[in-house]
Structure 1
């Protein structure tokens, strides 16, 4: 049968020619980057490393807290309108805002600071991964300040609407601090019927445990199911999943996010932001032991350091010599187990005989 004009060979030639033409067009249309000047290199070399890292942590927290609290404001202010209609979604919208914000924060700032954005994660990095303990206070301070600035900026942008809803609450004799109140735009507060704080602690603990475990799994270089380009979105979705599932029964999920915005809340709505139902210590502190337990579970039971070494992501503390000793011990242990198994089988056979 005679081949047509679009047989396999001809189509390959056509594709090849089109590809070359497109590459030539792109080369003509795209300008080369401006050469890097020595002045720029000297300026970047003089920048203090600690300052860059602290600013990156603050900016990263800002980048995910700002859209999160803005989405919360949009949801709550529209839900409280006179018609009782909220055209701007609900907890799903808030969860998506935090997820996308976390992804943007990691993409933007993690190359500079490592992308902790959470005091609990910073402490776990110091304990498990060798992050310098002297940097921990600077990182935590920067993270809290990032959330604080995000809360202030959001209040400024929504100030007329927040003033209006605050005036309505005052006119109706309703408290300004509490669940579904103006203060709840910035900080989480328990429902009036959540008087059992032990239950609130349990909810916060397991939510933070879940998020910590997801983060630790995502940043494990030996994990074959996550590559670096998908880590920001996966961590963001882990955070969003907990908002979708448990925000309705009060969660905080990050010490920096809660403490920073709670300070803004106290500025505008009074000290009750920290004293309401004795909840603020739960929101601020439970995240740390919960995240530590999650990372301990991963480090002690799930991590495979030998795979990390084999893939070139880590080295043995004693170098190749230490690795060889480990393999020799493993072989001896396997041989010993085989000998014991063979001896047990011989005993069974002798008993049957």
Structure 2
């Protein structure tokens, strides 16, 4: 990289001075630029070609949404199971990780998934969330099957790639367990890196159901609160990290007693575990890990919709409308005796603004 070397008034060197650079190139290190708080001149991007626009316009919307859901689940699952592999394959040595690190791996993976893929598909990444959107928010039921398939496929690919990357170590661990008469699909085995298996003393499946149900309900209600447009504490930039932290909270609290948290995350990687380490991956616990997520999340969102949702606040903030328009909103305010001057003034102003356009053409402005 080239640089500009200048001297101050006393003839002392001041090092790189980006203000002397006018070549429109990236000529100094990023660290220097950040430390100096100087806006650099960089090479302008080339114009977008019509060929590029035509290509992007021709992409099927359904395919883009499925790809985004699959990639999103991949970005969420892959760092989590990679962190688990690093930890368990090295004898749970602290230098290679911890439960705390694994929680953060999933949390940041979820944030990355939402940031990267959310703008394309809406960022569901969980079959239970997709179903809740269909039940409560009018998400098209026709899209539900393909979203869920894509989510499971993304998890499957994450597990498949991880097995490829750690194949020698995983096979060695599996062989050692088989010699001891222990299934690789058990806690501490290679299968447990990919999906959830209870410990040998965890034989009370009602207890495991109870834990999974309320863990998933906790995550579900946090997600629903984050997505509530009337929530004053959530900014769009913070939402991915809040949702990620909800998952991490539950991992830190309950991973030692076995949790799954997401149908797609568990089922996709469980299929991989069954392929490489035996069909007993689908053991008696598997239905709890795979299926409880859906009723638990529906329960959580039901609680939020009944007890916490404030649709009037959402309408008042301009994030939604009454089904009968402003006439319906005025009727509601009159009926409830909460006809507030601020809201009615806004309605009146909006009506005055829309009046000239009601006949399909604008009349002359009175001013």
Q: TM-score, normalised by structure 2?
A: 0.81
Q: How does 1:104-253 map to 2 (within 5 A)?
A: 104-253=112-261
| 1:41 to 2:41 alignment | no
- What residue in structure 1 maps to residue 337 of structure 2? 331
Give, in angstroms, the shift of residue 167 of structure 1: 2.2
Contact 1:78–1:87 under 8 Å retained in 2? no
Once the two structures are overlaid, the 10-residue window that deviates more, 261-270 or 71-80, is 71-80
Which structure exhibits the higher relative contact order, with contacts defined as CA atoms closer than 8 Å and separated by 6 or more residues? 1
**Change in 2 beyond 3 A, CA 1:205/1:31:** same
- 1:39-92 per-residue CA deviation (whole Å, 9 max, x = no partner) reads 111111111000000000000000010001111111111126xxxx34212211
Give, in angstroms, the shift of residue 119 of structure 1: 0.2
Q: Which structure shows the bigger proportion of residues in helix conformation? A: 1
- Identify the match of residue 319 of structure 1 among 306, 313, 325: 325
Cα distance in 1 for residues equivalent to 2:282 and 2:171: 21
**Change in 2 beyond 3 A, CA 1:200/1:35:** same
Cα distance in 1 for residues equivalent to 2:105 and 2:291: 24
Give, in angstroms, the shift of residue 29 of structure 1: 1.4
When the two chains are superposed, the root-mean-square deviation of aligned CA atoms in Å is 1.9
Contact 1:308–1:314 under 8 Å retained in 2? yes
Give, in angstroms, the shift of residue 28 of structure 1: 6.1
Give, in angstroms, the shift of residue 312 of structure 1: 1.2
Give 5+ residue unaligned stretches, structure 2: 1-18, 25-37, 341-367
- 1:299-341 per-residue CA deviation (whole Å, 9 max, x = no partner) reads 111011111111111111111111111111011899xxxxxxx
Give, in angstroms, the shift of residue 175 of structure 1: 2.3
Counting matched residue pairs gives: 308
**Change in 2 beyond 3 A, CA 1:146/1:28:** closer
- What residue in structure 1 maps to residue 29 of structure 2? none
**Change in 2 beyond 3 A, CA 1:27/1:179:** closer
- What residue in structure 2 maps to residue 67 of structure 1? 79
Cα distance in 2 for residues equivalent to 1:28 and 1:265: 50
- Identify the match of residue 282 of structure 1 among 253, 264, 288: 288
**Change in 2 beyond 3 A, CA 1:333/1:312:** closer
Give 5+ residue unaligned stretches, structure 1: 1-20, 335-353
Cα distance in 2 for residues equivalent to 1:313 and 1:138: 28
Give, in angstroms, the shift of residue 196 of structure 1: 1.2
Cα distance in 2 for residues equivalent to 1:107 and 1:97: 15
- 1:147-172 per-residue CA deviation (whole Å, 9 max, x = no partner) reads 00000000000111112212222333
**Change in 2 beyond 3 A, CA 1:72/1:315:** same
